[in-house]
Structures are given as C-alpha cells and as structure tokens.
Amino acid sequence: MSQAMDRKVVWITGASSGIGLALTKCYLDDGWKVLASARKQGELEPLLDNHQHLTFIPFDITDDSQMDSVRDTLSSYSAHLDCAVLNAGTCEYLDMTDTDPDWKMMDRIMSVNFIGLVNSVEVCLPLLKKSSRPHLVGVSSQAVQAAFPQAEAYGASKAAIRYFLSSLRMDLKQFNVDVTCLLPGFVDTPLTQKNTFSMPFLMSPDDAAKRMFSALESRPFEYAFPKRLTAMLWAGRHFPKLWLSMLAPKNK
C-alpha cells in the first residue's frame, strides 16, 4: 500500500489560530493529512503554502446553511475521517456591574461554543463512521471544574460540551466511535490575551497542543491539564465558600 493511502486524516476546527493552529502543526509533523477549518485562513496561510497534506475548508460553525457543503467538501478530500478535533470557540465575559448587562452574550457564546460544536459533530459523524477506528474529540475547558466570576456564558457553554460529549460517548459506542473531551487550562492565545486577571500555570499553544496530541493517543474519556490547575480547581469545588471568598469581586 502506498504511503499516501496509509496517511491518517484529521479534521480540526478553529485551526487558524492558537491551540487549533498548534494542533494542526502536531498532526502534520506526525504525518497526518489535515483538513483545517475556521472562518478565515488567518495564521494557517503560511502553512498552506508549505504543506501539501494541509487543506483549508472554510466553515462558520454557527451557520447551518454551510453544513452540507462542508461535509461534501470534506468527503471530496477524503472518503473517511480517522479523527475530528472540534476546537473552534470564543470567549466573552459578563459584566454584572454594568447597569444593563449584556445578557444576549449567553446566546452568542452558546451559539458558537456549544451549538457550533454540535453542528460540527453533525457534519463529521458520517465520515468518522467510515473509519476503521474513529475518534471524536471536543474541546471544553478546565473552567468547568470550578466557578469563575464573569464566566456565566463561557463556563456554561463548556459545561454543556462536556455533558454532551459524555452522553454522546455512550450512544456512539455501538458504532465504535471513541469520544474524548479535552479540558485545557490557561493557554496563551488571542482568546486569553485580552484577560486582565492572573492566569495560573499559563502554557504556550505549542506546549498545550503537544500535551493534547500525546494524550489523545490513548483515547481517554477526558484529559484535563495541567494537573496543578486541576488540583487547584478540585480544592475550589470541594471548599466552595473559601473559593467564593477568594474569587468573588468585593462589595462596592
């Protein structure tokens, strides 16, 4: 069999920046064929010129009308997917000190992070099922492990992803599709670069992607990292009054 026929195929959403871009590099370095999606090529552009096994497929994950054509485009590049890493996402913080808080943010963030991921599953599942050993991966966040102020929208969307994937894991077992939920800690990307609070154990995108890539090899149900943050959030969850007194904004 030729080397080209042996090449495994992954679809990565949110591949134009941050974690998705770094993951794209990991998969390419490991010899995979990468089908990379985002709304715009962004930082993928220079990679596209230099990698024949990298293809950009534009997709706004909130736009239902693109779903069939994205599936058709994916299948025109490969009859099956061995892995899909559904990573695209965004973040906004609710400001309760505002006299008119931006409640519509809940809708915006859920549409991208949660419904967008569900749309992406709908797009790729038929192609995953054609693989002999399919792996579906979604990106949640360590933010789901304990409450953070102003994260009403972001945290809820990531908790929804975690539950959705854990339920989906049960229903896809009969089709031999393995499902992994990734829970990264703080990673230095455009998404977090606007944060004004301290981000303990901040990782570079390359470091985060390498940890994710190597953890995915054993197809865990969940992979939360770095462990020091997991431990800190475990304490926050088990000592909620202390956590509240440490993190809640002080009385005005």
Ligand X SMILES: NC(=O)c1ccc[n+]([C@@H]2O[C@H](COP(=O)([O-])OP(=O)(O)OC[C@H]3O[C@@H](n4cnc5c(N)ncnc54)[C@H](OP(=O)(O)O)[C@@H]3O)[C@@H](O)[C@H]2O)c1
Nearer to ligand X, 68 or 245 (CB): 68
3-state secondary structure of 250: coil
For residues 54 and 157, give the distance between their C-alpha atoms in angstroms, rounded to a whole number: 30
For residues 67 to 96, the per-residue mask of contacts with ligand X, x marking binding by CB under 6 A and - elsewhere, is --------------------xxxxx-----
Per-residue 3-state assignment (H helix, E strand, C coil) for 10-52 = EEEECCCCHHHHHHHHHHHHCCCEEEEECCCCHHHHHHHHHCC
Beta carbon of residue 144, minimum distance to ligand X (angstroms, whole number): 10
Q: Does 38 bind ligand X (CB under 6 A)?
A: yes
Q: Which of 10, 19, 121, 209 binds ligand X (CB under 6 A)?
A: 19
Q: Does 233 bind ligand X (CB under 6 A)?
A: no
Tokens of 161: 């992803």
Q: Does 190 bind ligand X (CB under 6 A)?
A: yes
Number of residues that bind ligand X (CB under 6 A): 32
For residues 110 to 139, the per-residue mask of contacts with ligand X, x marking binding by CB under 6 A and - elsewhere, is --x---x----------------------x
∠ CA 208-209-211, rounded to 5°? 65
Q: Does 16 bind ligand X (CB under 6 A)?
A: yes
Q: Does 20 bind ligand X (CB under 6 A)?
A: yes
Place of tokens 């865990």: 220
Q: Does 61 bind ligand X (CB under 6 A)?
A: yes
Pairing of strands 9-13, 33-37: parallel
Beta carbon of residue 151, minimum distance to ligand X (angstroms, whole number): 11
Amino acid identity at 25: K
Q: Does 150 bind ligand X (CB under 6 A)?
A: no
Q: Does 62 bind ligand X (CB under 6 A)?
A: yes
Q: Does 141 bind ligand X (CB under 6 A)?
A: yes
Pairing of strands 178-184, 54-56: unpaired
| E-only strand ranges, the chain | 9-13, 33-37, 54-56, 83-86, 135-139, 178-184, 222-225
3-state secondary structure of 2: coil
Q: Is 77 an active-site residue?
A: no
Nearer to ligand X, 41 or 75 (CB): 41
Tokens of 20: 């998705």
Nearer to ligand X, 131 or 146 (CB): 146
What residues are annotated to the active site?
Answer: 154
Contacts to ligand X by CB under 6 A: 13-20, 38-40, 42, 59-62, 87-91, 112, 116, 139, 141, 184, 186-187, 189-192
